[in-house]
Chain A
């Protein structure tokens, strides 16, 4: 899950980045409308958290522009104004949800979960593959009823695999969806995390579910019977 935070108040941007990263989301920050517009065009975000009052291009204009250009990434709008009129204007401009400042961070997280859940077409938030269960709300992961503790990044990695089961997932995709811009794509950060994730999933000699596709990436698939 990769999120673009567009916020000109650097202190607000700082805590949003910190808090969301602690949840395992990959966060990029844009501090003005033009920069945010550029980022949204370049990177495949799962969500844009957009402040309304921005220098340069304001949030309403930016949202309308992104929609006009066919970018369907969900937008959660943040604003210092919570009048009915402003809410309507925000939603009409293309936002999917609306939150007035100052907000409860837990509420923000719940809205982020709700929007990304709707987006992935898994309204229950419960993902299942073979004997593997993942709850996107409680972030509980179980294999055959046994609980597995994952780091936030590992959780997002597994979540991405389980959202795309039986599909080849490239390293580039993972870098784009689970990591933010600050990671150098040349490193083997993806392989290292996949390796750790496999170790935790395969504890107690359980079968390997994340298979390597040589030179391409990975696939979530039951092992082929020998």
Chain B
């Protein structure tokens, strides 16, 4: 795995290296240039001094100031070694300093420069050592014919050795600086990462069951407060979802256990001793009721699970809301007749796009509830309205929803304790709302007037357009 600390340290080290190399190279070059200039100045100065002294001689009796300026005796410091030689105007060696066992080389072109009275410079290898020399024109007073050439030379080795030592020093410093840069980088990275690590540790310590805890580390530090806020926000949302899930599971478990308990108890007791056929029949009838209750519950739970998974509608088609209404009414007619409840349908048909099965279910749940709460002889009012949307209002003439229950109406497994609760699963309105939302619509409780009023809103699609005139003409 890539390490941020390592990467940061490497970058800092590289930066230090590049910088050090740049500074090192510049200083080596600068030093080299300084040393060369100094050497040249020394050589020129020597040449001028010697030339002034030698101008009066005849050339062959020329004497260098050996003891003063040139290191002549054995064991002078190499840095101070200077050679000097006098050449005639036609390139013949005339006099050389005593520290020279043989003649220096006269660089080509030196004579012509001297003939023009110009000083020239040269660097060349002589007897295995690099020499820097100045060639200085020397006009002898006695010998008026021609200009002699005074050559003053110095070995470059001392300068180059100094430069080598300096370069080595610079190189070592660069290396050390790079290593130091890497270490400092790691340290900085560690410091920079410490809050992250502490936040991580706190987050790790949180368990699924303890979602109420929040991250507190470095929440007040500007750079980290956002991360901590985001994490805590996520935790809060998780906790909410977890709570809802837990309550739903507990409720579902309770709802499933009630019929299972009755079923099991009924059968347990029937089997405890021999009973009459009538008693067995009663037991079977009761068991059958419980099985139906379980099947209904399983269906409802499955429907909700599907809508929770936000599955796309399996099947969509344009359909008239009135046809949905009529189907539902014809299906619940026996129940309504038994409860002596009538229907009043108002409003013209409107087209919606939807899954007929699901829309049937949504409307049926609303109508079922309305019948359940209607007084005997009451009417369920179904009204279709809306321009851009299709609005179906379902109103009953019952007692309305108690104020305290309105908040929980669409909560799963919520049931009006005082109401006729025996047959419901407590999921009807939750399913109806999920169904409406699957159609990008919504289902709301509007109020008590005095009976409960629910409003289902769906997206309207324009009625199939009339056949265009042109097409009609073609036909």
| Chain A positions near chain B (C-beta within 8 angstroms) | 9-12, 14-16, 18-19, 22, 53, 55-56, 80-81, 101-106
Can you name the residue of chain A whose Cβ is closest to the Cβ of B260? Answer: A102
Q: Which residues of B contact A103 (CB under 8 A)?
A: 261, 264-265
B253 & A80 in contact (Cβ 8 Å cutoff) = yes
Provided the pairs A9-B262, A101-B258, A102-B257 are in contact, do residues A55 and B417 lie with their beta carbons within 8 angstroms? yes
Partner of A12, one of B253, B258, B417: B258
- Once A22-B272, A81-B250 are accepted as A-B contacts, the answer to whether A15 and B265 lie under 8 Å apart by CB is yes
Chain A hits for B253, CB < 8 A: 80-81
Chain B residues contacting A56 (CB-CB under 8 Å) are 417
Contact A11 B250 (CB under 8 A): no
Do B269 and A22 touch (CB < 8 A)? yes
Q: Which residues of B contact A15 (CB under 8 A)?
A: 262, 265-266, 268-269, 286
11 contacts between A and B (CB under 8 A): A11-B289, A14-B286, A55-B417, A56-B417, A80-B261, A101-B260, A103-B261, A104-B264, A104-B268, A105-B265, A105-B269
* B254 close to chain A: CB less than 8 A: yes
**Which chain B residues numbered 212 to 271 have a C-beta less than 8 Å away from chain A?**
250, 253-254, 257-266, 268-269
A105 to B268, CA, bound (A): 6
User: Can you name the residue of chain A whose Cβ is closest to the Cβ of B266?
Assistant: A15
Cβ-defined contact, B265 with A19, below 8 A: yes
Whole-angstrom distance between the Cβ of A21 and the nearest chain B Cβ: 10
Alpha-carbon separation in the docked complex, A102 to B253 (Å):
11
CB pair A11 B417 closer than 8 Å: no
B282 CB to nearest A CB, Å:
10
- Chain A residues, CB < 8 A from B264: 102-105
Q: A residues within 8 A CB of B262?
A: 9, 11-12, 14-15
A12 engages B261 (CB within 8 Å): yes
B290 within 8 A of A: yes
> Which of A22, A55, A102 has most B Cβ within 10 Å?
A102
Contact: A19 with B257, CB < 8 Å? Answer: no
- Could you tell me if A16 and B265 are in contact, using CB atoms closer than 8 angstroms? yes
Given A19-B265, A101-B260, A102-B261: A80 and B272 interface contact (C-beta under 8 Å):
no
Interface size on B, residues (CB 8 A): 22
Contact A12 B265 (CB under 8 A): yes
A55 to B253, CA, bound (A): 17
Q: Which residues of B contact A10 (CB under 8 A)?
A: 422
Complex Cα distance, B417 from A56, in Å, reads 9
| Contact across chains for B254 and A80 when beta carbons are under 8 A apart | yes
Among residues of B, the one whose C-beta sits closest to the C-beta of A11 is B262
In whole angstroms, how far apart are the Cα atoms of A22 and B422 in the complex? 27
Cα-based distance from A106 to B259 in the complex (angstroms): 18
In the complex, residue of chain A having the shortest beta-carbon distance to the beta carbon of B250: A81
Q: Which residues on A sit within 8 Å (CB–CB) of B268?
A: 15, 19, 104-106
How far is B256's CA from A101's CA once the two chains are assembled, in angstroms? 10
CA distance in complex: A53, B413 (Å): 13
| A101 partner residues in chain B, CB cutoff 8 A | 257-258, 260-261
Decide if A18 touches B261 in the complex (CB within 8 Å). Answer: no
When C-beta atoms are compared, the residue in chain A nearest to B264 turns out to be: A102
Residues of A within 8 A of B286 (CB): 11, 14-15
**Bound: A44/B228 CA distance, A:** 60
The docked-state distance in angstroms from the alpha carbon of A131 to that of B260 is: 46
Cα A80 to Cα B263 with chains together (Å)? 14
A16 to B264, CA, bound (A): 11
User: How far is the CB of A38 from the nearest CB of chain B, in Å?
Assistant: 18
A105 with B254, Cβ < 8 A, contacts A9-B262, A12-B261, A16-B265 known = no
Cα separation A103 to B261 with both chains bound (whole Å): 7
Most buried by B among A11, A19, A55, A105: A11
Contact of B269 among A11, A18, A53, A55 (CB under 8 A): A18
Question: What's the nearest-Cβ distance from chain A to residue B283, in Å?
Answer: 9
Q: How far, in angstroms, from A10 to B269 measured CA to CA in the complex?
A: 16
Other than A22-B273, A106-B268, give 13 A-B pairs with Cβ distance below 8 A: A11-B262, A12-B265, A14-B262, A14-B286, A15-B268, A15-B269, A19-B269, A56-B417, A101-B258, A102-B257, A102-B260, A103-B265, A104-B268
Q: What residues on A are CB-neighbors of B265 within 8 Å?
A: 12, 15-16, 19, 102-103, 105
Residue of A nearest to B283 (CB): A15
A18 CA to B264 CA in the complex, in Å?
14
Closest to B265 in A: A15
Q: How far is the CA of A106 from the CA of B267 in the complex (A)?
A: 12
Q: Which residue of B lies closest to A56 (CB)?
A: B417
Which residues from chain B contact A9 at a C-beta distance below 8 Å? 258, 261-262
Closest A residue, CB atoms, query B256: A80
A19 touching B254, Cβ below 8 Å: no
**CA–CA, A22 and B261, complex, Å:** 19
Please tell me if the beta carbons of A80 and B257 are within 8 angstroms of each other in the complex.
yes
Q: Cβ of B273: which chain A residues have Cβ within 8 Å of it? A: 22
- Distance in angstroms from B91 CB to nearest chain A CB is 115
Instruction: Take A11-B286, A55-B417 as given contacts and tell me if A19 and B261 are in contact as well, using a CB distance cutoff of 8 Å.
Output: no
Kindly list chain B residues whose C-beta atoms are within 8 Å of the C-beta of A14: 262, 286
A14 to B261, alpha carbons, bound, how many Å?
11
Q: How far is the CA of A68 from the CA of B178 in the complex (A)?
A: 78
Q: Tell me, in angstroms, the Cα distance from A10 to B422 when the chains sit together.
A: 9
Residue of B262, B265, B422 with highest tally of chain A CB at under 10 A: B265
Residue of A nearest to B258 (CB): A9
* CA distance in complex: A57, B258 (Å): 18
B281-304, CB < 8 A from A? 286, 289-290
CA distance A106 to B257 in the complex (A): 18
Taking CB as reference atom, which chain B residue is nearest A15?
A: B265
Q: Mark B463-474, 1 if CB is under 8 A from A, else 0.
A: 000000000000
For the complex, give the distance between the alpha carbons of A101 and B260 in Å: 8
Cα–Cα distance between A205 and B253 once the two chains are bound (Å)? 59
With A and B bound together, what is the CA distance between A103 and B265 in angstroms? 8
Which B residues lie within 8 Å of A55 (CB)? 417
Complex CA gap A9/B263 in Å reads 12
Min distance, Cβ B433 to any Cβ of chain A, angstroms: 24
Contacts of B422 in A (CB 8 A): 10
- Complex: A18 Cα to B269 Cα, angstroms: 8
Q: Which residue of chain A is the closest to B279 with respect to CB atoms?
A: A18
Centre residue among B250, B257, B263, B286 by max chain A CB count within 10 A = B257
A15 to B273, CA, bound (A): 14
Complex-state Cα separation, A19 to B268, whole angstroms: 9
